[in-house]
Amino acid sequence: MFNLNMVGYTDIIMIGGITAIAVYLWVSSKTKQTTTMVDLKKLKVLPSNVEDNSGAKGASSEKGLIEKMKSSGKTIVIFFGSQTGTGEEFAQRLAKNCRLYGLKALVVDPEEIDLEDLQRLNEIENSIAIFIMATYGEGDPTDNAQELYDYLQRGEWDLKGLKYGVFGLGNKTYEHYNEIGKYFDKRLEELNGSRLIPLGLGDDDVNIEEDFVTWMDKFWPIVCEYYGISASEQDISMRQYKLLNIDDVPEEKIFKGEVHRLNSYNRQKPPFDTKNPFMAPISVKYNLFKGTDRKCLHIELDITGSRLRYEAGDHVAVYPANDAELVDKIGKLLNVDLDQTFSLINIEEDATKKHPFPCPTTFRTALTYYLDITSLPTTQLLKELAQYANDENEKKSLQLMASASEEGKAHYNSFIRDEHTDLVNLLEKMTSLKPPIDHVMELLPRLQARYYSISSSPKVHPNTIHITCTVVEYETKDGRQCKGVTTNWLLNKPVLDDLKSKVPIFVRKSQFRLPFKFQTSVIMIGPGTGLAPFRGFLQERDYYRKEGRLVGKSLLYYGCRKRTEDYLYQEELEEYEKNGTLTKLNVAFSRDQAEKVYVTHLLRKDSNLLWNIIKEGGHIYVCGDAKNMARDVHDLLIDLCEKEGGMGKTQAVQYVKDLGQKSRYVLDVWS
Ligand SMILES: Cc1cc2nc3c(=O)[nH]c(=O)nc-3n(C[C@H](O)[C@H](O)[C@H](O)COP(=O)(O)OP(=O)(O)OC[C@H]3O[C@@H](n4cnc5c(N)ncnc54)[C@H](O)[C@@H]3O)c2cc1C
Ligand SMILES: NC(=O)c1ccc[n+]([C@@H]2O[C@H](COP(=O)([O-])OP(=O)(O)OC[C@H]3O[C@@H](n4cnc5c(N)ncnc54)[C@H](OP(=O)(O)O)[C@@H]3O)[C@@H](O)[C@H]2O)c1
Ligand SMILES: Cc1cc2nc3c(=O)[nH]c(=O)nc-3n(C[C@H](O)[C@H](O)[C@H](O)COP(=O)(O)O)c2cc1C
Ligand SMILES: *[C@@H]1O[C@H](CO)[C@@H](O)[C@H](O)[C@H]1NC(C)=O
Ligand SMILES: *[C@@H]1O[C@H](CO)[C@@H](O)[C@H](O)[C@H]1NC(C)=O
Ligand SMILES: *[C@@H]1O[C@H](CO)[C@@H](O)[C@H](O)[C@H]1NC(C)=O
């Protein structure tokens, strides 16, 4: 084996002591790559401040944070940093719990306040600031918390007197586990704040719901003592929204599925973004697999006239709709007329969020477009629903699952998680459970947009965005068929140009980009649907070759199960290899022989070739499955640096980390 003293390369800088593995997930957002980067506009996935159809601004945006808290008698402020809604949901839930103790809390999106106000919180007697913060990427904050994070980092402020508590959201399978939560907790103390509640960390890979409930169990005794109030929570259910059935609203004033602005789907106005998606017709759609029940869709979305711009490597977000049959089932189970028009109105008059989703609308629209009806029920939902179970055993079962006891957690894990009990299934299993629909709607999370790696290049397809997606379908232990919301909705969508057949989309910039210089060689690793962005990359490189430019080597490592079944874009890829745009096409068929062959096996065989490309400044791209594949590839790269580059382990780890920092090793992975 090589040891450190034998390392002779001068282009390797040794930095000792760093042994952590660096996995750059999703996008490597700390590294600014090239000048071609388009303004990384803050995109929020969750429209959090849906206004009435008037489009008038809420009272929130006019008053400052401190004034707002003072005028409404609120002492607790809860900031959330959230990308996919979990953190925001926790923040709302904590605020709701506050009211059970007679305390008033304000939930705040840090993006929407003047950050200087943080220093003024001590103007409010007995104020507490709670930070519920998710971690992304390489230990990065969410988009909506970026400015707050930068503000704390600059650290020019004295936060003396600030009483605070932090709950972080993360996932232990990522290297930078909960880094943002930990950072906030430490940093606020450094800035002279005083920690009132110990740091809580939620692990999404096990049961983040449970972690949050456990943290709240510690939260309440401390907060109650601080305010000198009784620690026994009144066992009453508190509603945040009240239901208003409406019968006389004109048709054009009713939301029909628009994510934010009324009638924005039939009266389309650019610019298009997360709150104002473009309604794209599907111009092409077909199944890429053959001879198997699994399906993988190739879809072309027509963006003609939308002024939407994209780059190879960007993501397109799709707002889906729930399955009509499931929605009907909920209507029947809860005994409601789904076509009733209603509004859910926040009972607090000056709340930031007037409605939980766009209102007025119908129950059918809300259950179809606004609410996530297929994710597994949270303990909070079960807790609040328990009061509606007429059967004592069912009520006890719900209460037990919602409790923080070991027995309760075990019951939740077996009844909800193992048995995959979603809302419809729960209502079917517990026949005495008949909650009012408005309370259910208040408790369900918002239906989220789904992201897809764009599989085309705008150089070749300026008017279409291509996606390559595997249709999600799986069986539960008791033999029920479950279907992924978005992929099945896309599968069943007709290829027509009417409004009903269009897909609400927006483009999200990524940092998954080809090298700035055409001559730079690229190593692309993407088994399964991980191939998607590389199809865009190849189109782009092919385009430049046709322009007569000198383009560097392009190596592709792709993998699928069987050559005859799920080999994506086989002909295209083989053509690219023939005409030289692809220097070498390497495909691992995992199930065509007795022993599995994966992309990692092929990469290992090519160690020497790969090392030479890396040494000469080549870029490495990895796309697809985060959990196993990306991790294995990462380990392999470290091995490769050790064996081919003659480095020691520590040095190899650092070398790979540096590649990531220089955007020469970039990942676009998901789980
Ligand atoms: C940045 C990014 C890029 C992406 N790019 C692509 C892409 O190019 N192509 C692509 O196909 N996808 C891509 N995805 C994934 C995509 O966004 C969706 O998550 C995926 O299509 C499923 O969406 P859905 O609404 O159909 O399924 P959902 O309704 O969201 O259902 C998926 C959920 O079902 C559950 N589930 C799935 N399989 C099983 C099982 N076997 N057993 C138990 N539970 C299960 C899991 O909880 C899973 O989270 C990407 C994701 C991200 C974050
Ligand atoms: N979280 C996970 O564990 C996981 C894993 C795979 C896919 N997914 C998700 O499932 C969805 C559909 O997947 P898909 O259609 O893209 O892929 P897929 O068809 O399931 O897999 C593509 C190929 O990758 C192989 N593979 C499995 N593990 C690997 C590893 N550690 N390293 C390299 N190759 C490996 C598979 O082999 P075999 O199947 O024969 O082993 C198959 O040949 C995607 O959303 C993907 O993110 C999740
Ligand atoms: C693309 C992606 C990257 C992530 N990166 C990290 C990470 O680096 N560290 C971590 O602890 N958790 C990471 N997570 C887990 C999230 O922080 C976790 O799922 C959290 O509950 C999300 O909260 P939100 O729904 O409020 O955005 C990541 C999740 C995704 C989808
Ligand atoms: C914290 O308080 C001390 C003592 O009052 C002060 O000297 C110091 O500057 C404060 N720190 C910051 C970061 O403002
Ligand atoms: C946590 O991350 C792992 C790996 O990326 C993934 O398999 C798992 O599904 C994630 N957990 C949740 C709940 O998202
Ligand atoms: C190479 O093959 C691809 C895939 O068929 C094709 O689209 C492209 O035009 C070809 N390029 C050249 C330079 O011939």
Residue 527 CB less than 6 A away from ligand 2:
yes
According to CATH, the superfamily of the domain at 278-321+449-508 is Translation factors (2.40.30.10)
> Would you give the DSSP letter of residue 206?
T
Determine the atom of ligand 4 nearest the C-alpha atom of 192: 1
Per-residue pLDDT tens digits for 84-110:
889 999 999 999 889 888 899 999 999
Q: How far apart are the first and last CA of the chain?
A: 36
Residue 173 CB less than 6 A away from ligand 5:
yes
User: Which one has a higher pLDDT value, 11 or 189?
Assistant: 189
Residues 6+ apart with CB under 8 A from 401: 379, 382, 408, 411, 412, 415, 416
Expressed in angstroms and rounded, the spacing between residue 463 Cα and the centre of ligand 3 is 33
Residue 534 CB less than 6 A away from ligand 1:
no
User: Is the four-CA dihedral 223, 225, 230, 232 of positive or negative sign?
Assistant: positive
Cα distances (angstroms) measured from residue 515 to each of 35, 172, 525, 637, 661: 11, 31, 15, 19, 14
Q: What pLDDT sits at residue 7?
A: 26
Give the three-class secondary structure for 300.
strand
| Helical residues (DSSP H) of 168-297, grouped into ranges | 179-190, 208-227
587 neighbors 568 (Cβ within 8 angstroms)? no
Ligand nearest to the CA of 668: 1
Residue 670 is assigned to a ligand binding site: yes
Per-residue pLDDT tens digits for 174-190:
889 999 999 999 999 99
Q: Whose CA is nearest to atom 38 of ligand 1?
A: 474
Q: What pLDDT sits at residue 233?
A: 59
Q: What pLDDT sits at residue 626?
A: 86
Active-site hit among 98, 359, 623, 641: 623
Per-residue pLDDT tens digits for 229-270:
876 655 556 788 999 999 989 999 999 999 999 999 999 999
Determine the atom of ligand 5 nearest the C-alpha atom of 626: 5
Residue 529 CB less than 6 A away from ligand 3:
no
Expressed in angstroms and rounded, the spacing between residue 486 Cα and the centre of ligand 1 is 8
User: Which one has a higher pLDDT value, 30 or 529?
Assistant: 529
CATH architecture entry for 522-670: 3-Layer(aba) Sandwich (3.40)
Residue 474 is assigned to a ligand binding site: yes
Is 453 marked active-site?
yes
Residue 139 is assigned to a ligand binding site: no
Is 668 marked active-site?
yes
Per-residue pLDDT tens digits for 544-592:
999 999 999 999 999 999 999 999 999 999 999 999 999 999 999 999 9
Residue 626 CB less than 6 A away from ligand 5:
yes
Residues 432-436, mean pLDDT to the nearest whole number: 97
Residue 579, both tokens: 């005409």
Is 521 marked active-site?
no
Residue 13: pLDDT over 50: no
Residue 453: pLDDT over 80: yes
Residue 545 is assigned to a ligand binding site: no
Average pLDDT along the chain: 88
Residue 524 CB less than 6 A away from ligand 3:
no
pLDDT band at 593 (very low <50, low <70, confident <90, very high): very high
Is the pTM higher than 0.95?
Answer: no
Q: Whose CA is nearest to atom 4 of ligand 4?
A: 192
Q: What pLDDT sits at residue 36?
A: 21
Residues 501-516, mean pLDDT to the nearest whole number: 95
Secondary structure tally for the chain: helices H, strands E? 19, 22
In the chain, the percentage of residues whose pLDDT exceeds 90 is 78
Residue 304 CB less than 6 A away from ligand 4:
no
Q: What pLDDT sits at residue 240?
A: 85
Per-residue pLDDT tens digits for 324-377:
999 999 999 999 999 999 999 998 776 778 899 999 999 999 999 999 999 999
Residue 176 is assigned to a ligand binding site: yes
Per-residue pLDDT tens digits for 395-430:
999 999 998 788 998 999 999 999 999 999 999 999
Q: Domain 73-227 falls in which CATH fold?
A: Rossmann fold (3.40.50)
Expressed in angstroms and rounded, the spacing between residue 558 Cα and the centre of ligand 5 is 23
Residue 336, both tokens: 């409601």
Q: Which of 59-63, 68-72, 197-201, 415-419 is predicted least confidently?
A: 59-63
Give the Cα separation of 560 and 475 in Å (integer): 22
Q: Which of 37-41, 147-151, 465-469, 562-566 is predicted least confidently?
A: 37-41
Residues 620-648, mean pLDDT to the nearest whole number: 95
Cα distances (angstroms) measured from residue 233 to each of 93, 142, 221, 229, 230: 14, 32, 10, 10, 8
Give the Cα separation of 87 and 104 in Å (integer): 19
Look up tokens 């006891």; give the residue. Answer: 405
What is the gyration radius of the CA atoms in the chain, in angstroms? 26
Expressed in angstroms and rounded, the spacing between residue 451 Cα and the centre of ligand 4 is 44
Helix (H) or strand (E) holding 662: none
Q: For the chain, give every domain's residue range.
A: 73-227, 278-321+449-508, 522-670
Residue 34: pLDDT over 80: no
Residues 6+ apart with CB under 8 A from 1: none
Helix (H) or strand (E) holding 433: none
Task: Give the count of beta carbons closer than 10 Å to the beta carbon of residue 580.
Answer: 11
Determine the atom of ligand 5 nearest the C-alpha atom of 627: 4
Query: Which phi-psi region, left, alpha or beta, contains residue 201 (left: φ > 0; alpha: ψ -120 to 50)?
Result: beta
Active-site hit among 29, 127, 453, 521: 453
**Among residues 639, 615, 655, 602, which one has the least CA distance to residue 2?**
639
Expressed in angstroms and rounded, the spacing between residue 26 Cα and the centre of ligand 5 is 13
Expressed in angstroms and rounded, the spacing between residue 158 Cα and the centre of ligand 4 is 6
Per-residue pLDDT tens digits for 455-473:
999 999 999 999 999 999 9
User: Which of 568, 599, 625 to mutate for ligand 2's pocket (most ligand atoms within 8 Å of CB)?
Assistant: 625
Residue 61 is assigned to a ligand binding site: no
Per-residue pLDDT tens digits for 279-328:
999 999 999 999 999 999 999 999 999 999 999 999 999 999 999 999 99
Expressed in angstroms and rounded, the spacing between residue 422 Cα and the centre of ligand 1 is 17
Residue 158 CB less than 6 A away from ligand 4:
yes
User: Which of 455, 535, 542 to mutate for ligand 6's pocket (most ligand atoms within 8 Å of CB)?
Assistant: 542
pLDDT band at 14 (very low <50, low <70, confident <90, very high): very low
Do the two domains 73-227 and 522-670 of this chain adopt the same fold?
yes
Per-residue pLDDT tens digits for 163-173:
999 999 999 98
